Chain A
Amino acid sequence: MRPSGTFPREWGKVVTGYFLRRVLQGLISIVGASIVIFFISRLSGDPIVLLLPTEAPPALIEQVRQEMGLNEPVWKQYLIFAGKALGGDFGKSYRWQAPALELVLDRLPATIGLALAALAFSILLAVPFGVLSAVYRGSLIDTLGKGFAMLGQAMPNFWVGLLLVLIFAIHLDVLPAYGTGSAAHVLMPAIALGWYPVAAQTRIVRSAMLDVLDSDYIRMGRAVGASERVLVWKYALRNAAIPLVTILGVYFAAMLGGAFVVETVFAWPGVGRTVVEAVFSRDFPVVQVGVLLTSILFVTSNLLVDLSYGFIDPRIRYDR
């Protein structure tokens, strides 16, 4: 810790400056994402075709066009869309005739819950794996861990899910194959989703652990005769976990992306499955909200990762 006397005055300014810049960048990304999503959706052709029956009279078509602002230039349409979106109005789902935002927000807790469970699963595997392969570097455990990691990165998450269903739901009949409602339901989707990041997380823990185990205070601990187990699992792990903790937001964001497929496999009632279904029924308002909401979560968790570095380790300088 720095004594307060040497604490540079401008430190606060540097931090706020960086903070503001990153938040601004995040906002630009989200606005940009909304533009991209809006324009791609518009390329699909006239929303009228999807809204009204083909035999609708021309007068009605014209009226709906006016109401929806479809006669305005495209950039103006985007501004209308964005203005409404800021007020939480993304239009009604073509299919369910309910506000699209509500529909997606209803499903959001399920997706976040699944992503958190998956994250918990991956950490539960990665930390012991990473620690053991650092402590016994070059041993059988290290090699096994590496092999396991490579295997994990070569397996699509939905296939892992299907294999789990095959083994645990069909052959052993111990877990429900799909749906939601109990702790048992979340187990397989969480494993399928959390499988992939295990490899990368193990690597992070391993290399951090190698650094820490080599540091003075651990040697000191050894010299005074502290037990190796306490040193490794209590003192070393506490510091080695920092890189993993700071980067968890990135993995959380990645889980949100992966959820689109895994939710479909397990009929998990989350945002991902809702969007996939909406794609099939060409329900664009729902697709737009779902994707935009995922992007916002994605940007936010990445932003938090960047900002958290400074809080956890004040030695990191912001003004690069």
Chain B
Amino acid sequence: MVILALVVIAAAFGENVAPHDPNGLNLAAAFRPPVWEPKGEWAYLLGTDNLGRDILSRIIAGARVSLVSALYAIVFAGAIGGLIGMISGYFGGVVDAIIMRLVDIQMSIPALALALVIAAVFGADFDTVVIVIIVTYWTWYARIVRGEILSLKERDYVALAKVAGCGTATIFFRHLLPNIMNTLLVLATLQVGQVIIFEASLSFLGLGIQAPDVSWGLMLSDARNYITNAWWAITMPGIAIMITCLSANMIGDWLRDTFDPKRRQL
């Protein structure tokens, strides 16, 4: 929790807390090791990369990209997938069959493979990354929400609302949505870690965030070229990814156990 809060703060106030300009070149200070190594300096807490850019500052700048893309993607994937799942579960029949086949089709293409195709066509940038994540993750919401709605719509209060003359939209947003909100929230939290790793993978392949923007995956991709010179350049961004995902997953698990003890396997 504390770690995630730190990451959020880093993402929000990046420029103000970062000790250096994340893109500031300083060739004289290239390949400085972290401070605890013999040649380390306090000025560069986690060392510098091949161009003398401060790794800590770049990790802080990367936090923003990672979190913002994850946030956008999850909100949209949740909204779109949730709505489609509600429609599918509520109306059933042909609509349901068509939507579920679409979900099957979507799920039959490995996420990263689909991402490659999309990135190849639209070019790689921030928007593409967000779109790719939405396209990949909406199916989860659609399937799980559909399952919930299937049981919810049989409840008396839904029938009563119908009798009372409520429109479909009212039933959806006033009566059904509040009941699936917990599920949506838990699923979204559990996905933060996955999405961050997914974004890092895309950027690592060179199909995600592009320089001069900074992303953790991109840092790792750069650092790979001088892996023999600077172990810290390859270790630090990975640790940033790891602890962020770890804390997001732990919060997700905790939320799930609190809100929804039935769904341990989610």
Interface of A toward B, CB cutoff 8 Å: 25, 28-30, 32-33, 36-37, 40-41, 43-44, 150-151, 153-159, 162-163, 165-166, 170-171, 253, 256-258, 260-261, 264-265, 275-276, 278-280, 282, 284, 287-288, 290-291, 294-295, 298-299, 302
CB A289 to nearest CB in B, in angstroms, measures 11
Instruction: Name 6 extra pairs, CB < 8 A, besides A170-B231, A253-B110.
Output: A32-B102, A32-B105, A154-B249, A260-B110, A261-B205, A299-B108
Contacts of B101 in A (CB 8 A): 25, 28-29, 32
Tell me if B246 is interfacial: C-beta within 8 Å of chain A: yes
Q: Lowest 8 CB-CB distances: which A-B pairs, in order?
A: A32-B105, A257-B110, A154-B245, A29-B108, A159-B238, A44-B121, A154-B246, A279-B120
Tell me if B23 is interfacial: C-beta within 8 Å of chain A: no
CB A25 to nearest CB in B, in angstroms, measures 6
On whether the beta carbons of A163 and B120 are closer than 8 Å, the reply is no
Known contacts: A29-B108, A150-B250, A159-B220. The answer to whether A261 contacts B204 by CB under 8 A is yes
Known contacts: A156-B200, A258-B112, A298-B110. The answer to whether A41 contacts B245 by CB under 8 A is no
Tell me if B43 is interfacial: C-beta within 8 Å of chain A: no
**Which of chain A's residues has its CB closest to B246's CB?**
A154
Tell me if B180 is interfacial: C-beta within 8 Å of chain A: no
Q: Which of B113, B228, B245, B249 has the most CB of A within 10 A?
A: B113
On whether the beta carbons of A41 and B238 are closer than 8 Å, the reply is no
Separation of A82 and B121 alpha carbons in the complex (Å): 20
Contacts of A299 in B (CB 8 A): 108
Separation of A148 and B204 alpha carbons in the complex (Å): 25
Identify which of B110, B114, B117, B224 contacts A162 (C-beta below 8 A). Answer: B224
**Which of chain A's residues has its CB closest to B247's CB?**
A154
On whether the beta carbons of A257 and B112 are closer than 8 Å, the reply is yes
On whether the beta carbons of B227 and A166 are closer than 8 Å, the reply is yes
On whether the beta carbons of A291 and B109 are closer than 8 Å, the reply is yes
Contacts of A279 in B (CB 8 A): 116-117, 119-120, 207
Please report which residues of chain B, range 126-154, place their CB below 8 angstroms from some CB of chain A when the two chains form the complex.
none
Contacts of B241 in A (CB 8 A): 154-156, 159
Tell me if B70 is interfacial: C-beta within 8 Å of chain A: no
**Which of chain B's residues has its CB closest to A30's CB?**
B108
Tell me if B4 is interfacial: C-beta within 8 Å of chain A: no
Total A-B contacts with CB atoms under 8 angstroms apart: 146
B interface: dominant SS: helix
**Which of chain A's residues has its CB closest to B237's CB?**
A159
CB A201 to nearest CB in B, in angstroms, measures 14
Separation of A150 and B235 alpha carbons in the complex (Å): 19
CB A178 to nearest CB in B, in angstroms, measures 11
On whether the beta carbons of B109 and A298 are closer than 8 Å, the reply is yes
On whether the beta carbons of A261 and B201 are closer than 8 Å, the reply is yes
Tell me if B27 is interfacial: C-beta within 8 Å of chain A: no
Contacts of B120 in A (CB 8 A): 41, 44, 278-279, 282, 284, 287
**Which of chain B's residues has its CB closest to A257's CB?**
B110
**Which of chain A's residues has its CB closest to B107's CB?**
A29
Tell me if B65 is interfacial: C-beta within 8 Å of chain A: no
Separation of A32 and B220 alpha carbons in the complex (Å): 35
A-B contact pairs, 12 of them (CB 8 A): A29-B108, A155-B245, A158-B220, A159-B241, A162-B238, A256-B110, A257-B113, A264-B205, A275-B113, A278-B120, A279-B120, A291-B117
CB B86 to nearest CB in A, in angstroms, measures 22
Identify which of B104, B197, B207 contacts A32 (C-beta below 8 A). Answer: B104
CB B65 to nearest CB in A, in angstroms, measures 15
Separation of A287 and B116 alpha carbons in the complex (Å): 8
Contacts of A253 in B (CB 8 A): 110
